[in-house]
Amino acid sequence: MRTQVAIVGGGPAGLLLSHLLHRQGIASVVLESRDRAYVEHRQRAGMLEQGTTDVLRDSGVGERLDREGLVHHGLELRFGGAGHRIPLTGLTGRTVTIYAQTEIVKDLVARRLADGGEVLFEARAVEIDPSAPSVTYLRDGRTHTLECDYIAGCDGFHGVSRPAVPGLRTFSREYPFAWLGVLADVPPSTDELIYAHHERGFALHSLRSPQVSRLYLQVSPDEDLAAWPDERIWAELAARFATDDGWELREGPITDRAITPMRSFVGEPMRHDRLFLAGDAAHIVPPTGAKGLNLAVSDVTLLARALIERYASGSEAALDGYSASCLRRVWRAEHFSYWMTTLLHTDPHGDGFAHRLQRSHLDYVVSSTAASTTLAENYVGLPLTR
């Protein structure tokens, strides 16, 4: 087989890149190691920056997003028994939207297949050649080779793309806590996200839909999921969200639960020869700042623009600048995610002095317009530039 752009990974980054290229007449083949059902039901975060929703709408895949997405104009920081609203739109003029990543993937898969796109599920890439660009993959018990002009590595943290970059510099940080995330069939107890700091640990109340809630608890990285029956989860959530005015948390059947470790990771550069890394293949952020999916979208949007320019004019200037352009945004998001994480989580190794500093910082963020604006500006996402 031969195509112009081989895309390794059929998550939202790879599918969106294929869609953006198709709109400009550039051929691509998406190789995804899992089957379609798995990809379309893989639970991931779903907070979209305005720049991300703009990209989806402008590319013609935002119809269901506009119909079902929950637009938010603020968020709440909760600590010391009280809530403090950060007016995102009032401070920045921008919004965020809650729309599940699973639904984005379903929208993109349906669109690519309807457009005649080549999305090969259960096609596991095993070797990448960035210089004589090609991808060797296994499918239906046979070995295949896909030759191409360029390769986009959108295959996540554990994929084969990043190891194909020689001399890669890596930067990482492991955190002394993890998230226990649950999906519950119960209407949300809030209209906007609640980020709670509590001496027992961090908690987050998010939304999946008007009928489904997504909630998180800070736990230790080695926590046993079996030690958390429904009753314990709801009791701990209620304790961490408790306010002096008697706010109540709605409870319902928990349909999904998982423990996710937290890390920060960046690999530089994001390009080697004809191979370009995007999304989790190049960087990981702790989920506190809700930047993972949004960074992936900004990566592939920049890569699509660069490839479109290359095929339209023959110029590789934008491709040459791809890594540097992405990394400027990546490091800003890494810092914001680290800042939000250390601001809100309870450090199990921290002393009283550290905890007092943390509380002072929280008080400052909610009482200072300048500090609130810094949080809001980074949370809604910086404008996507070249």
Of 225, 251, 224, the closest CA to residue 237 belongs to 251
Residues acting as catalytic residues: 72, 195, 287, 291, 379
Q: Is residue 357 part of a domain?
A: no
**Total tally of structural domains belonging to the chain:** 2
**112 and 31, same domain (yes or no):** yes
- 3-state DSSP assignment of residue 158: coil
d(CA 76, CA 37): 35
**271 and 123, same domain (yes or no):** yes
Please check whether residue 46 is in contact with residue 70, taking contact to mean a CB–CB distance below 8 angstroms.
no
Range of the domain at 202: 175-261
pLDDT tens, residue order, the chain (386 aa):
999 999 999 999 999 999 999 999 999 999 999 999 999 988 676 899 999 999 999 999 999 999 999 999 999 999 999 999 999 999 999 999 999 889 999 999 999 999 999 999 999 999 999 999 999 999 999 999 999 999 999 999 999 999 999 999 999 999 999 999 999 999 999 999 999 999 999 999 999 889 999 999 999 999 999 999 999 999 999 999 999 998 999 999 999 999 999 999 999 999 999 999 999 999 999 999 999 999 999 999 999 999 999 999 999 999 999 999 999 999 999 999 999 999 999 999 889 999 999 999 999 999 999 999 999 999 999 887 64
**317 and 197, same domain (yes or no):** no
**202 and 335, same domain (yes or no):** no
**147 and 26, same domain (yes or no):** yes
d(CA 166, CA 176): 30
Burial 196-211 (b: 16+ CB within 10 A, else e): bbbeebbbbbbbbbee
**189 and 253, same domain (yes or no):** yes
**CA separation (Å) from 15 to 115, 205, 212, 285, 361?**
12, 29, 26, 21, 40
Of 267, 277, 263, the closest CA to residue 9 belongs to 277
d(CA 339, CA 375): 10
- 3-state DSSP assignment of residue 121: coil
SS3 content of the chain, % helix, strand, coil (to 5): 40, 30, 30
Q: How many C-alpha atoms does 155 have within 13 Å on its Cβ side?
A: 30
- 3-state DSSP assignment of residue 68: helix
**64 and 125, same domain (yes or no):** yes
**257 and 267, same domain (yes or no):** no
d(CA 139, CA 151): 19
**64 and 151, same domain (yes or no):** yes
Is the preceding omega at residue 130 within 30 degrees of 0, hence cis?
Answer: no
Which CATH number covers residue 244?
A: 3.30.9.10
